[in-house]
């Protein structure tokens, strides 16, 4: 079956005759969808197309991309659609992400939200730390939420995070910036840690640049993690070579209750979506876990002040971003990554 605009149906028909193609040709206009030549083999479809199908309004347009189009060709289409859905709080995206293994949210770390647009500081910040599932009731910073509006947002956040009792609980959840570019215009961008953007202003092109910058920094973090995927390559003369390396997360807040921490982290629940049965020896836990979002195996080794993650070949660096971002908002906002390149990608 071939679908074309009604204004091009005659020309398309001549081309199909030239190559000897005998399939059905559908013509789409502002008012109707019509079978103009050929036939269809499916009885139900043949009956549906027996008469022209009247449209309630002009079609919104055709998608000008296909499987061979470069990644950049999708940017305008996908990003504008995502912004529209999120602005209307549609659940369609949530349903698609949660039920598919090839999709996941963007999990922006706190430092990425603090640097949404180069050369600007957030005009509004929200810090939202929810440690009820990991921390005891007596912890002073078990639950911390701050909203700051004004010019001194970073200064106030630094002041609060400088207090030892609250340093591990100041995690940025949303940020708003005003981006100005002489060539494009002005936009006010609100971004949250799962990559949802809300924008006002006079330049959609500048909005695209803001999104592109945020996602470029995030992509670097994900790709740096994927460079450490573990793989075994067999040698022709026997033996094997191991490629990759574990990823180590350093905790500023020591784990006091290891059993409770493991029970929560590997409970299968959102947002970590990890399942595993820990084995503890000499205060070190080893877990052959499953990332339930991807359905892939991930190995963990967990001590009092560190978490070592082994991603195997076929895994996804987004698993590390999801783990780090959610730990920042539920256990330790001041955690860091041991590897220098990963640490730099996390703090960009």
| Cβ burial 9-24 (10 Å sphere, 16+ → b, else e) | beebbeebeeeeeeeb
Q: What is the CATH number of domain 231-347?
A: 3.30.160
What are the boundaries of each domain within the chain?
Answer: 2-54, 92-224, 231-347
Q: With a threshold of 0.85, does the pTM exceed it? A: no
Task: Per residue of the chain (348 residues), give pLDDT as tens.
Answer: 888 888 888 888 888 888 888 888 888 888 888 988 888 777 888 888 888 888 876 666 666 776 677 767 777 777 766 666 666 655 655 655 555 556 677 899 999 998 898 888 899 999 999 999 999 888 888 898 889 888 878 888 888 888 888 889 999 999 999 999 988 899 999 999 999 899 999 999 999 999 999 999 999 999 999 999 988 888 888 788 888 899 999 999 999 999 999 999 999 888 898 999 999 998 999 999 999 887 889 999 999 999 999 999 888 899 999 999 999 999 999 999 999 999 999 987
Among 111, 180, 189, 123, which Cα is nearest to 152's? 123
For residue 123, the 8-state DSSP code is S
Residue pair 116/187 in contact (Cβ under 8 Å)? The answer is: no
């Amino acid at each position: 079956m071939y679908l074309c605009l009604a204004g091009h149906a005659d020309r398309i028909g001549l081309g199909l005759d030239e190559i000897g193609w005998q399939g059905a040709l559908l013509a789409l206009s502002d008012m109707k969808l019509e079978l103009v030549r050929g036939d269809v083999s499916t009885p139900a479809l043949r009956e549906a197309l027996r008469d022209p199908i009247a449209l309630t309004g002009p079609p919104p347009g055709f998608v000008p991309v296909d499987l061979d189009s470069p990644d950049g060709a999708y940017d305008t289409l996908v990003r504008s659609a995502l912004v529209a859905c999120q602005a209307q709080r549609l659940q369609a995206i949530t349903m698609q992400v949660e039920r598919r293994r090839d999709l996941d949210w963007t999990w922006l770390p706190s430092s990425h939200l603090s640097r949404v647009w180069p050369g600007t500081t957030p005009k509004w910040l929200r810090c939202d730390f929810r440690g009820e599932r990991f921390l005891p009731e007596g912890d002073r910073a078990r639950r911390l939420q701050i909203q700051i509006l004004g010019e001194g947002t970073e200064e106030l956040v630094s002041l609060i995070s400088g207090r030892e009792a609250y340093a591990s609980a100041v995690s940025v959840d949303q940020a708003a910036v005003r981006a100005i570019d002489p060539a494009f215009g002005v936009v006010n961008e609100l971004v949250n840690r799962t990559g949802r953007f809300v924008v006002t202003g006079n330049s959609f092109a500048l909005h695209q640049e803001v999104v592109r910058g945020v996602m470029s920094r995030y992509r670097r973090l994900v790709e740096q993690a994927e460079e450490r995927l573990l793989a075994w390559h067999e040698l022709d003369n026997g033996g094997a070579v191991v490629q990759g390396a574990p990823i180590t997360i350093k905790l500023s807040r020591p784990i006091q209750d290891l059993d409770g921490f493991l029970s929560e982290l590997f409970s299968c629940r959102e947002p970590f979506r990890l399942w595993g049965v820990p084995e503890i020896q000499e205060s070190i836990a080893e877990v052959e876990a499953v990332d339930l979002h991807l359905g892939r195996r991930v190995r963990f080794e967990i001590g009092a002040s560190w978490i070592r993650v082994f991603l195997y070949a076929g895994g996804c660096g987004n698993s590390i971003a999801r783990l780090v971002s959610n730990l920042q908002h539920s256990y330790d906002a001041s955690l860091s990554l041991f590897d220098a390149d990963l640490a730099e990608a996390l703090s960009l």
